Structure 1
Amino acid sequence: MSHLPPVAITPIVAELLDRNAVVAVGVSGGKDSDACAIATDEYLDRIGHTGPRLLIHADLGSVEWRQSLPKCEQLAARLGWELVTVARKAGGMMARWETRWQNNVTRYNELSCVKLILPWSTPGMRFCTSELKAAVIASYLKKRFKGQPIINVTGIRREESASRKKADIAKADPRLAQGKIEGITWNPVIEWKIDEVKAAIASRGLVLHEAYTRYQMSRVSCVFCIMSSAADLIASTTCPDNHDIYRTMVELEATSTFAFQSKNWLGDVAPQLLGGELADRLELAKKAAAVREMAEARIPVGLEYQQGWPTRRPSLDEARIIADVRQSVAGAVGLSAGYLDPYSIMDRYDQLMQIKADKTPSVPVQLLGSIQSDQMAFGF
């Protein structure tokens, strides 16, 4: 057995391992999850852990690297662990983006949102992590290991990013809790350096994912990730297996008029892969995006989205502006939007305000009078 750097440990992790808690290591085929699984395997053997152990891979669908699942299978075979693959029932990452776009168009057409909403994940809304990985993994583990404490093990490292530098070694995970039975997330290799990661993988006779070795990627996640560097996006397009999903994603850019990464259009990374028709549509989408952004910048102050939207009814002049904005956006993007005149917009705001009021918990009459006075004072 190799001599690896120590794993990071906390009293709660040690206590749960003493109780032979379930240990599930999330694996992606990437280097950090490989090293994490190897380190966890050696540590569990050393302390005499006899509870259930498994590797668990959340399949993101068409956005996955072709070699990712085979790499997870190789790792499982080398460690002698069970490998479970889980997936979101409603579809993979691309389906999530496409469905989100369809839903957002419906919301915009119905004036259930004041601005058109992008289809893509963002650094603050990482559907891959929250919905397609964490939620699906937690659901599987709780169903399979009812009544047992569960440790979800991940391979994050402080060296990777500023946010991960502040991550905890371990913390309670409400998604894994079963009543009073605990569930935690544990990051055993959080302090490891990249050379230690590579050495751990080599110690088991494994090689790195071809995304690193053949295509010079700095990280393995989705083949095109909203967090990817420009260099990684370019590198990914050099893999022929990724060309179809590249074009599918650019199709959504062209349809939605939203760039994949804020102002950075995925279609600009490898335009030679698009074909004339899609390339032309993308250029039209960029012009439409400029029209959309300029129009939405005119939304009156106080009527743009904020928590509790809508907070007030627009005046007639404000409704005229919103009508003009909606006409411009619908025309540029090609939407069949309703509520394109000021009077229907004011009526719709009345409906939305009533819907919100109906959902608000009832309050004592004397307090309600005070609230209404405040609302009148502020022009709500």
Structure 2
Amino acid sequence: MAKVASTPEIDALVAANAVVAIGVSGGKDSQAAALATMRHLDRMWHTGPRVLIHADLGVVEWNDSYPTCQRLADHLGLDLITVQRKAGGLMERWESRWRSSVTRYQELSTVTLVPCWSTPAMRFCTSETKTHPITSELRRRFKGQQIINVTGVRRAESRGRAKATVASPDRHESFWNWRPIVEWSVEDVFSCIDASGLTPHPAYREFGMSRVSCRFCIMSNLADLSAATAQPEAHDLYRRMVDLEADSSFAFQGSRWLGDLAPHLLSNDARARLDAAKARAAARVSAEQRITPGMLYVKGWPTRMLTDDEADLLAEVRAEISGLFGFRSDCLSRESIHERYADLMSRKEARHAR
């Protein structure tokens, strides 16, 4: 059996019987992390509270994700805490983000349209629907106590996680993040699960997927996305996500349109809407490329007033994009854009003066 990685800081917290909360998603890595951590804690004579905690992402979850977590909890004799983002699941977050993007564009609170989907570089899907609900619930439930937050992160998973540490302090003073199987291989993970007598999520061995998170994940490769479309339980979500691609003109994975993976699952109208969205996307990109780098949105925007020529260009682009999408946008002239920028800069100065 592969070894559990630890640090002196984690060992000290375990010896002090700190709370150990193990995040579980239904995926293989969190399942193996829970099994390995429990054995390790037993060997260390840990007698503090131990719980499993699962973030329910709503309709994007596989049907068997929660049951897999519950079977694991029953096997380990632990309570399973379930949390969810108060404003809804991840699909609702993507849809509300698009509505917000439209509003912000129409009122000129952003220079270009903002994509609705999370991305590898902007994973609000993790921070808003997993990390925040989990840490908030643990801080509420174990107020004033030291908490070790266990995750199944492994360095072999991706280049992004190759530099993951064994443990690190969280921004919350009472939290430490522990990655006990960070050095494990995928073979180690499945061996651990099989040795326990449990079975991994069916998506691995029945659906043929290499990773399990959302049914359609921004990090999934083409093979996993295709395998997901073959599962009847994913078809309603697939159509809903393609509808959002069509509404927004943003492909789910950068240049990869989810709607292209299984067009046979879509109605004739849905396929026509997707084709129109692709044409609209090309026109949107072409229009936005005319905006010069110094005019684009940056933190603290707006940082300066635009020149007359820049205001004319922005007005032209905004009118073009608004026509493409049928927006009722404000600030479609040089004068109104100057006025909007002046108002925004005045408000910013007032905030800084407080």
TM-score range, shorter-chain basis? over 0.9
Between the aligned partners of 1:76 and 1:204, the Cα distance in structure 2 is: 13
In the alignment, which residue of structure 2 is the partner of 1:378? none
In the alignment, which residue of structure 1 is the partner of 2:34? 37
1:328 aligns with 2:320: yes
Q: Cα deviations across residues 327-367 of structure 1 (Å, max 9, x unaligned)?
A: 111111222211111111111111111122222247xxxxx
Between the aligned partners of 1:174 and 1:107, the Cα distance in structure 2 is: 31
1:75 aligns with 2:72: yes
1:5 aligns with 2:2: yes
The answer (yes or no) to whether the contact 1:29–1:71 under 8 Å persists in 2 is yes
Between the aligned partners of 2:140 and 2:235, the Cα distance in structure 1 is: 37
In the alignment, which residue of structure 2 is the partner of 1:235? 227
- 1:114 alignment partner AA: V
Between the aligned partners of 1:302 and 1:165, the Cα distance in structure 2 is: 35
- 1:167 alignment partner AA: A
Between the aligned partners of 2:87 and 2:167, the Cα distance in structure 1 is: 30
The correspondence for 2:156, drawn from 143, 156, 159, is 159
Between the aligned partners of 1:340 and 1:89, the Cα distance in structure 2 is: 37
The correspondence for 1:221, drawn from 205, 209, 213, is 213
TM-score normalised by L of structure 2: 0.98
- 1:14 alignment partner AA: D
1:354 aligns with 2:325: no
For the residue of structure 2 that corresponds to 1:97, the secondary structure is: helix
In the alignment, which residue of structure 1 is the partner of 2:44? 47
Between the aligned partners of 2:215 and 2:325, the Cα distance in structure 1 is: 27
Identity over aligned residues, as a percent?
Answer: 53
Between the aligned partners of 1:237 and 1:155, the Cα distance in structure 2 is: 26
In the alignment, which residue of structure 2 is the partner of 1:295? 287
In the alignment, which residue of structure 1 is the partner of 2:133? 136
For the residue of structure 1 that corresponds to 2:295, the secondary structure is: coil
The correspondence for 2:302, drawn from 284, 307, 310, is 310
Larger of the two Rg values belongs to structure: 1
- 1:275 alignment partner AA: S
Between the aligned partners of 2:166 and 2:105, the Cα distance in structure 1 is: 42
1:122 aligns with 2:119: yes
In the alignment, which residue of structure 2 is the partner of 1:100? 97
The answer (yes or no) to whether the contact 1:303–1:312 under 8 Å persists in 2 is no
The correspondence for 1:285, drawn from 272, 277, 286, is 277
The answer (yes or no) to whether the contact 1:303–1:311 under 8 Å persists in 2 is no
1:201 aligns with 2:197: no
For the residue of structure 1 that corresponds to 2:160, the secondary structure is: helix
Between the aligned partners of 2:141 and 2:290, the Cα distance in structure 1 is: 52
- 1:310 alignment partner AA: P
In the alignment, which residue of structure 1 is the partner of 2:82? 85
In the alignment, which residue of structure 2 is the partner of 1:210? 202
Structure 1 runs (4+) greater than 4 angstroms displaced = none
Between the aligned partners of 1:306 and 1:204, the Cα distance in structure 2 is: 51
* Count of equivalent residues: 354
Unaligned runs of 5+ residues in structure 2 are none
The correspondence for 2:262, drawn from 256, 267, 270, is 270
Between the aligned partners of 1:331 and 1:274, the Cα distance in structure 2 is: 27
- 2:349 alignment partner AA: A
Q: What is the deviation of 1:78?
A: 0.9
1:256 aligns with 2:256: no
TM-score normalised by L of structure 1: 0.91
